Each structure stands twice: as C-alpha cells, then as structure tokens.
Amino acid sequence: MPSKVNTIDTFAMQLVFLLSTSIIFGTPSLVPDSWLTGIFAFFPACLLLVIYSAMLASTDNLGLYPLLEKAWGKATGKVFILIYSTYFLYIAARNVRDMIELIMSTLLRMTPVPFLTTLFVFLVAYCALGGIHAIARFASLILWIVLFMLATVGILLLFSSSIILEQMLPFLSKGLWPVIQSAFTHSIWFPYGESVVFLVFQPQLGGAKGFRKVTLYAFISTCFILSITDLIQICTLGIEMKKYSVFALLDAARLINIANIITRMDALIALIIIFGTLLKCAVFLYAAMEGISYVLKRKPEDFAFPLAILAGAFSILVTRNSAEHVAEGLKYVIYTLHIPLQLLVPLLTLVIVRIRYRKGATT
C-alpha cells in the first residue's frame, strides 16, 4: 500500500490547484455580474464531486486508471486511460501557455518564448519527479504565500482608494439567467471539473470519504476566494473594463498607488500565477505519467521529461496567438473535452460499475 498524503497537504494541493490560473483569468466575463457566476457554479460542481466520490466508493477506492479498466474491460479501459493521459497533458500544455502569456506581457517581454517554455517545463518535470507527496508538500508551502499576496493586493487597493463600490452597478442589469447560464456552461468545468485529475491519486489521498470531505472544503474556499477577487476587480476596473481585460487582476494591481511610494504591485500577482501554475502543471503531468506507465508497464519517472517537452511543444503550437488560445479554452475545449471527460465518462463508468457489482461481477 502506498503511504498516504496527510489531509492538510491534500487540501492545500487542491486549493492551490483550483486557484492558480483561475485567479488571473477569473470567472469568464461573459456577463456583467461575473462575481456571482462562481457562486452559482459551486452547486453543480458539488454534483461532480458526488459522482467522483461514488465512483471511488463503488470500487474499494481504486484510482482512476484501474477503475476504468475494471469498468470497461482491459482493452477499452486502456484506451480510456490513454485518452485521459492525453487530456491531462493537453490541459498542462494550456496552463503552460497561460503562464507564458502572462510573463511575456508583464515581466520578460523580450525573452524568446521557446526559451521560457523550455525552462518552465523542465521545472514542472523536476517537480513531478518527486511524486504526489512532494507536490502536496510544495502546495502547503506556497498556499500561504499565495493567500498572503492576494490579501496584500486587496488591502493596498483599499488604502489607495482604488476600490469604488459603485463600479459594480448596475446590479443584475440583464437578469439572473445569464449568470446561471454562464455558471453551467463555463465555470463549473474550469476550475471545479478539473479536480477529476485527483481521482488518479486516490490510493494516496484517502479514498472516497477523504476525497469527498477535503474536496468539498477546497471547493468552498475556491468559491469564496474567486468571488471576492472577481468583486475586487469589478469595483476597481468597472464592469466594462473588466469585461475586455485579459488579465483583470493584474490591471487592478497596477492601480495601486500609495503616496507614490508603493505602486504597480502586478509583480506580486505574477508570482502567484507562477507558483500556482507550476504546481497545477506538475499535478497534470504526473497524472499523465501515471497513465502512460500504467499502460506500458514502466516506471512513471521514465516519462517525466519526454512528456514535459511534449507539453511545452503543445503549448506553443496548439494556438497561434493569445486571443485564439482564450477562445479555444472558452468554447471548443469545454464541449469537446471537459464535458465528456469530466462528466459523461465518469457518469457512464459509475453506472457500469454499479451494474456489474449488482450482478456480482468482480472483474
């Protein structure tokens, strides 16, 4: 039996994972009251949590990959394992691209993209080599840094008189339905649905009961933090400016000015994203490593650097520019990847497992 990650480290890992790139992009600004979207998305996200927990409970807390093989059979199960491994690697590549876009627009404008990408994916591979225990311990360290930096930015915005509550008006100008629609079509899948990746590591994270409890707390914390940061962005930038801002939290941080001494704290936000994205990519990369090693019967460590390099290449080649990258994430990826692999396949797998167990099947 593999040793288990303690509850605090598991919670920290899930919270940093869920916040990471969500903090910088926030709730998709498809509706004026975007800060409400995250709150409404929390409730259907809990349904995903119920499905994932039921999957684990139905198969004696097997991880995602042996669970798929048990439900669908060896041949079909291995196909699904490869599909999920590719999916996790692709999402890791998208997160690498998010971070590179951020760094290129804020910190290192003249640095070649291939150099930054290569450096970052090698860091991700090195982090993933330590396994889920090392990733979780790293998360416990950086969680406090992330929360401290977010709180610092919020306090400095308040003291610099940049937060104007009237900016959030008109409230619900288009009614409640667009907010609910946005929650179901976008926010539930990113970031909450991405927690499907943690099913891979359940033998080390405490099984169905532990997963349900810790993930629920992580969802609640994420909902609260994202809603507050969205509200701060709206009250700082205004509804229209936030709607057309790519990195709204960065733009808000740039408005900090206290006696012309403390100004432009966007570097703090950039550090939050670098730390969070490093951890998130390491989780996805390690999940992909586990899937490939499960199918090919090799050690996961053998695939760390090859898959990291592949993710780096994907991040550069998958889209031509930032606008295309964002559009792909908000439209095509949700309907072709997120919904099938975060909802449909897990739900079908749960139904098949329940039917087979009801009939007394054990293989």
Task: State pLDDT tens for residues 111-136.
Answer: 888 888 999 999 999 999 999 999 99
Residue, of 2 and 90, whose pLDDT is higher? 90
pLDDT, tens only, 48-72: 999 999 988 887 778 899 999 999 9
Measured CA angle at 248 (ends 309, 183), to 5 deg: 85
Query: Tell me: the pLDDT tens digits for 158-212?
Result: 888 778 877 777 777 777 787 888 788 778 888 899 999 999 998 888 778 888 8
CA distance 71 to 273: 37
How much is the pLDDT for 27? 56
**Cβ contacts of residue 150 below 8 Å, gap of 6+?**
23, 225, 229, 272
- Domain range summary for the chain, segments of one domain joined by +: 7-351
Closest CA relative to residue 98, chosen from 126, 117, 78, 77: 117
Q: What is 7-351's CATH number?
A: 1.20.1740.10
Tokens coding 166: 């009237």
Q: Is the pLDDT of residue 31 over 60?
A: no
Residue 206 region by backbone torsions, left for phi larger than 0, else alpha for psi between -120 and 50, else beta = left
Question: Which amino acid is present at 255?
Answer: L
pLDDT of 363 above 50: no
Helix and strand numbers (H, E) in the chain are: 17, 2
Query: Residue 26 — φ and ψ, nearest 5°?
Result: 65, -170
Report how far residue 44's alpha carbon sits from residue 128's, in angstroms, rounded to the nearest whole number.
31
Task: Give the per-residue SS3 of 318-343.
Answer: CCCCHHHHHHHHHCHHHHHHHHHHHH
Specify the DSSP element, H or E, that contains 295: helix 266-296
The full length of the chain comes to 363
The half-sphere exposure of 167 on its side-chain side, counting CA atoms within 13 A, is 21
End-to-end CA distance of the chain: 21
Whether 281 and 98 have beta carbons less than 8 Å apart is answered as no
Please tell me the predicted confidence (pLDDT) of residue 26: 57
C-alpha span between 279 and 294 (Å, rounded): 22
Amino acid 270 reads A
Task: Please give the model's pTM, rounded to 2 decimal places.
Answer: 0.91
Q: Residue 84's closest CA among 92, 238, 57?
A: 92
List, in sequence order, the alpha helices (H) in 183-265.
202-205, 207-237, 239-243, 248-253
User: With 60 as the cut, is the pLDDT of residue 361 above it?
Assistant: no
